[in-house]
Amino acid sequence: MKRAIEKTGIVTALGAMSGTSLDGVDAAILRTDGVDIDGFGPSSYRPYSPAEQNVLRGALGQWSGDAVDAATDVVEQAHLALFEQFVDYDLVGFHGQTLAHAPRTKGTLQVGDGAWLSQALGRPVVWDFRSSDVELGGEGAPLAPFFHFACARHIGATDPLVFLNLGGVGNLTYVNPMCARAEDAGALLAFDTGPANAPLNDLLQTRLGIAFDEDGRIARRGTVEQGALELFLAEPYFSRIPPKSLDRNDFSEMIALVAELQDPDAAATLTAMCAAGVAEGIQHCPKPPEQVLVTGGGRHNPVLMEMLAVSLDCPVRAVEAVGLDGDMLEAQAFAYLAVRVARGLPTSCPGTTGVRAAVGGGIVSSPSATDIAV
């Protein structure tokens, strides 16, 4: 099997994503030249056990120490176990697990050693995607927009559209598919819209011992507390001009806003907060999008999807409606970004992270060579 990455041609890349919802690791194969999508391959999922989730939660917001070391071990072993299910690929895009994100002060921390993983797999691994962007003045997030641009071209879109990812934190990418390249001015605008699934998941875990609101059943029984929603929307973050990004726990006070509510009302209110943040974010788009394509776990919540449909002035659909896989889109994105990093192509630009100029940062680790920072 080919191991060296040639300067041109199609590469079979394996990408992975362990998101802020802390549910597990997604991994997926993508065939690409780093510009266009040639095709999609197999995918798989490895859930974190309750004990592993507790380790990861215990390290959130920390930058070093025993808790971070324990989380690092969980992340590395989970990814290795999942990657060993795959055989036919040329390189890996390894994002790791974000534990802390404060780009304007401390930086950004994704745990997991790509060099160790490269040795364990015997394959090149591209990792540490965010640091160079932050060092050059960017937010370091979101990083999927360049892949969203490729997806828009892949599905034949001609009008502006939005990809909305609802994981632990929500983020949107406005795409103008008529631009020639993702890094061109006006092609992309991307930013975090606000909290998505994380506050609701945390609330339900604490109160009921369940991981999430399956099918929105709890929220469906509740009533939105308008006072709490108004206080939430008064947060200055929503009026900030993008690009902008959030840490998973930046809106932890949301839990306090619903602390006195019964479970169904609290769930309905937190769900409404997610939808309201998206509606505020859409106002920042250069033009009204022709459609919003939703990816991530939030698209499985019919109550949230209904709230979005009511709040937005365009069709709101899961990405499966256009032939994409909403469970694996972010894993595929890091496969795509890995090829771009290996070929010296940019992975973020002023419109996606606020970085001063287009940048393609990352480290390429090889089992038989010194790491190369790109």
pLDDT at 19: 87
> What's the rounded Cα separation, in Å, for the pair 72 and 57?
12
Rounded to the nearest 5 percent, the helix, strand and coil shares of the chain are 40, 25, 40
Query: For 323-359, how does the pLDDT look when each residue is reduced to its tens digit (9 = 90+)?
Result: 999 999 999 999 999 999 999 999 999 999 999 999 9
pLDDT given at position 55:
98
Give the pLDDT of residue 106: 85
What is the spatial distance between Cα 195 and Cα 326, in angstroms, rounded to a whole number? 18
3-class secondary-structure state, position 371:
strand
Q: What is the pLDDT of residue 372?
A: 58
Q: How many helices (H) and strands (E) does the chain have?
A: 13, 13
Q: Answer yes or no: same fold for 11-142+331-373 and 156-322.
A: yes
- Phi/psi at 109 (5° precision): -130, 115
What's the CA gap between 372 and 374, in Å, rounded? 6
Q: Is the pTM of this model over 0.85?
A: yes
Which CATH fold would you assign to the domain 11-142+331-373? Nucleotidyltransferase; domain 5 (3.30.420)
CA geometry: angle at 352 spanning 347 and 358, to 5°?
45
- In angstroms, the CA 180 to CA 230 distance is 41
Torsion of CA 227, 238, 128, 137, to 10 degrees: -150
Q: Which residues contact 234 (CB under 8 A, 6 or more apart)?
A: none
Q: Residues 76-107: pLDDT tens digits?
A: 999 999 999 999 999 999 999 999 998 888 89
Is the distance from CB of 19 to CB of 48 less than 8 angstroms? no
At 293, give phi and psi (nearest 5°): -105, 120
Low-confidence ranges of the chain (pLDDT < 70): 1-7, 369-374
Vertex 140: Cα angle to 136 and 142 (nearest 5)? 140
pLDDT at 340: 97
Cα–Cα distances (Å) from 86 to 41, 313, 364, in that order, read 10, 42, 20
Q: If you search the block for the tokens 């036919």, which residue do you land on?
A: 88
Q: What CATH number does the domain located at 156-322 have?
A: 3.30.420.40
Distance between first and last Cα of the chain: 25
Domain ranges of the chain: 11-142+331-373, 156-322
* Total residues found in the chain within this entry: 374
| The pair of three-digit structure tokens given for residue 103, joined into one six-digit string | 């780009």
pLDDT on residue 2: 40
Give tens-digit pLDDT for 126-161.
Answer: 999 999 999 999 999 899 999 999 999 999 999 999
Distance CA 287, CA 210 (A): 40
Beta bridge partner(s), residue 171: 165, 192
**Nearest alpha-carbon partner for 264 in 303, 203, 218:** 218
